[in-house]
Amino acid sequence: TTRTLAPDTVVFDLIRREKERQMHGLELIASENFVSEQVMQAQGSILTNKYAEGLPGKRYYGGCEIVDQIEQLAIDRVKELFGVEWANVQPHSGAQANAAVMLGILKPGDKILGFDLSHGGHLTHGSPVNFSGKLYQPSFYGVEPETGLIDWEKVKETARREQPKLIICGASAYSRDWNYQALREAADEVGALLLADISHPSGLIAKGLLNSPFEHCHIVTTTTHKTLRGPRGGLIMLGHDFDNPLGLKTPKGEIRSMSSVLDGAVFPGTQGGPLEHVIGAKAVAFGEALSDAYGEYTQQVIRNAQALASAFTERGYKIISGGTDNHLMLIDLRSKGLTGKLAENTLIKADITINKNMVPFDDKSPFVTSGMRIGSAAVTTRGLREADMARIVDFIDQVLMNHDNDTRIGEVRQQVNAMMRDLPLFSV
């Protein structure tokens, strides 16, 4: 039986080693963060044992009275956090949230318009290798070559030309804020719905530090594990519920609201049983995000990103769009004669984790790339501040400028480890 099983030393030894890696390394991957101990406790709890297909109060399984309260708490807290009318907290991930939205509001073959993957967009916004580009007909808008910024009038022109049913905004590597109002004008002109995928900056948006999408975007999706600092997962929100434009009806002949279309698109549309242990952890994280301490954290995330951006600029690195409004930046390494692949593989030798990334109009393949993406969310959770950002840029510059000198890289690694060793891994 389970009780007599020997401890799995193999897996737990690997987890211990991964914890060591996280402790002594410098984590600059823009999509990562460190959750609190209580988020991990909820996620690692007995809630994983429970089946709960359906929604709180409307389940297809018995014994859901307690998980109903947990899921309802997650819903209530996220509604308060973002000031929205409706939320579904069940999507297993950001990709699942986007899949559910598209299943709910589109028919196969419908046209969609998203932000170009190679300019900073996400796979699920129409990439040909993803369901979104296989099931639907994608077209893309991008940034301007001279400025690295999106020209909102050009997005409107593209929408007029392409006549999409859905316009998607949001990105994985765009360091500037979004003009949701202009995008809504583009959507209204062609009768499209507007989806904002705020996976990256959602924590900063929750605390009012960036433009709010809720007034202008029909539907908003996000992951819960980036700046929001919750467990890995997804989430769908509606600022205001509305009648679905497809005119879908309930079995009783009533027009279905968008919230009911989306609930059905999550389950049974794209998922089976919700992960109630993850939803419990989401509830804990949303509770944390409601606190003033989290508000201070998000302000520090932006201050740290700006400190990183100015230190890189001082050292002659080219930041796409010239700076950042959020937690991340994309650096074009071509002026330094380096590739993203070389940067990623060399920095890891100094225990610095970044990711290679295409830059707009990149002439290299996605496996090589000309850029690196850097984010401040995780290092800010570790407690680092502006002065530390200048040191981090110094470490990165030393490694990249001496990429074939393992002795120098080893020296930087020792400094990195000394900086990180005593900083707590958890957010609270």
**What is the enclosing helix (H) or strand (E) of 9?**
helix 9-24
Asked if 277 is part of the footprint of ligand PLP (rule: CB under 6 A), the reply reads no
Task: Kindly state the greatest CA–CA separation across the chain.
Answer: 73
Is 123 one of the annotated binding-site residues? yes
* Residue 54 or 201 with smaller CB distance to ligand PLP: 201
308: left (phi over 0), alpha (psi -120 to 50) or beta: alpha
**What is the enclosing helix (H) or strand (E) of 347?**
helix 340-347
Of all residues in the shown chain, the one whose CB is closest to ligand PLP is 94
Q: Restricting to residues 116-155, which ones interact with ligand PLP according to CB under 6 A? A: 122, 124
Alpha helices in 219-257 (DSSP H): none
The least CB distance from residue 151 to ligand PLP, in Å, is: 20
- String of contacts with ligand PLP for each residue 18-47, x by CB under 6 A: -------------x----------------
Query: Looking at 32, 53, 185, 411, which residue is catalytic?
Result: 53
Coil, strand, or helix at residue 370?
coil
Is 347 one of the annotated binding-site residues? no
Asked if 270 is part of the footprint of ligand PLP (rule: CB under 6 A), the reply reads no
Is 366 one of the annotated binding-site residues? yes
- Strands laid side by side in the 234-238 sheet: 86-88, 234-238, 219-223, 193-197, 166-169, 111-115, 137-141
Residue 271 DSSP symbol:
-
Q: How many CB atoms lie within 10 A of CB 401?
A: 12
282 in Cβ contact with 70 (< 8 Å): no
Q: Restricting to residues 57-96, which ones interact with ligand PLP according to CB under 6 A? A: 93-95
94 in Cβ contact with 195 (< 8 Å): no
Asked if 164 is part of the footprint of ligand PLP (rule: CB under 6 A), the reply reads no
Stretch in the footprint of ligand PLP (CB under 6 A) among 19-27, 170-178, 211-219, 413-421: 170-178
* Residue 199 or 324 with smaller CB distance to ligand PLP: 199
Q: Taking Cα atoms as reference points, which of 172, 130, 210, 186 lies closest to residue 32?
A: 172
Q: How many CB atoms lie within 10 A of CB 168?
A: 32
CA 227 from chain centre, in angstroms, equals: 7
The β-bridge partners of 272 are none
Is 290 one of the annotated binding-site residues? no
Token digits of residue 295: 């508000």
Asked if 200 is part of the footprint of ligand PLP (rule: CB under 6 A), the reply reads yes
The least CB distance from residue 226 to ligand PLP, in Å, is: 7
Query: Looking at 32, 79, 80, 232, which residue is catalytic?
Result: 232
The least CB distance from residue 101 to ligand PLP, in Å, is: 11
CA distances to 186, 189, 267 from 108, in Å: 22, 22, 19
Asked if 326 is part of the footprint of ligand PLP (rule: CB under 6 A), the reply reads no
The least CB distance from residue 30 to ligand PLP, in Å, is: 9
Asked if 274 is part of the footprint of ligand PLP (rule: CB under 6 A), the reply reads no
Asked if 355 is part of the footprint of ligand PLP (rule: CB under 6 A), the reply reads no
Query: Looking at 116, 162, 197, 397, which residue is catalytic?
Result: 197
Query: Looking at 223, 324, 346, 380, which residue is catalytic?
Result: 223
Among 43, 223, 244, 270, binds ligand PLP (CB under 6 A): 223
* Residue 88 or 223 with smaller CB distance to ligand PLP: 223
Q: Taking Cα atoms as reference points, which of 360, 329, 427 lies closest to residue 121?
A: 360
The β-bridge partners of 140 are 114
135 in Cβ contact with 112 (< 8 Å): no
Token digits of residue 231: 């467990």
Asked if 213 is part of the footprint of ligand PLP (rule: CB under 6 A), the reply reads no
Query: Looking at 226, 341, 373, 382, which residue is catalytic?
Result: 226
* Residue 202 or 381 with smaller CB distance to ligand PLP: 202
> Is 223 tagged catalytic?
yes
* Residue 227 or 381 with smaller CB distance to ligand PLP: 227
> Is 51 tagged catalytic?
yes
383 in Cβ contact with 36 (< 8 Å): no
∠ at Cα 238 (240, 250), nearest 5°? Answer: 85
Alpha helices in 83-196 (DSSP H): 94-105, 131-135, 152-162, 180-190
Asked if 230 is part of the footprint of ligand PLP (rule: CB under 6 A), the reply reads no
The least CB distance from residue 171 to ligand PLP, in Å, is: 6
* Residue 275 or 400 with smaller CB distance to ligand PLP: 275
Known binding residues are: 117, 121-123, 365-367
Q: Which residues are catalytic?
A: 51, 53, 197, 223, 226, 232
Known binding residues for (6S)-5,6,7,8-tetrahydrofolate are: 117, 121-123, 365-367
Contact positions vs ligand PLP (CB under 6 A): 31, 93-95, 122, 124, 170-172, 197, 199-200, 223, 234
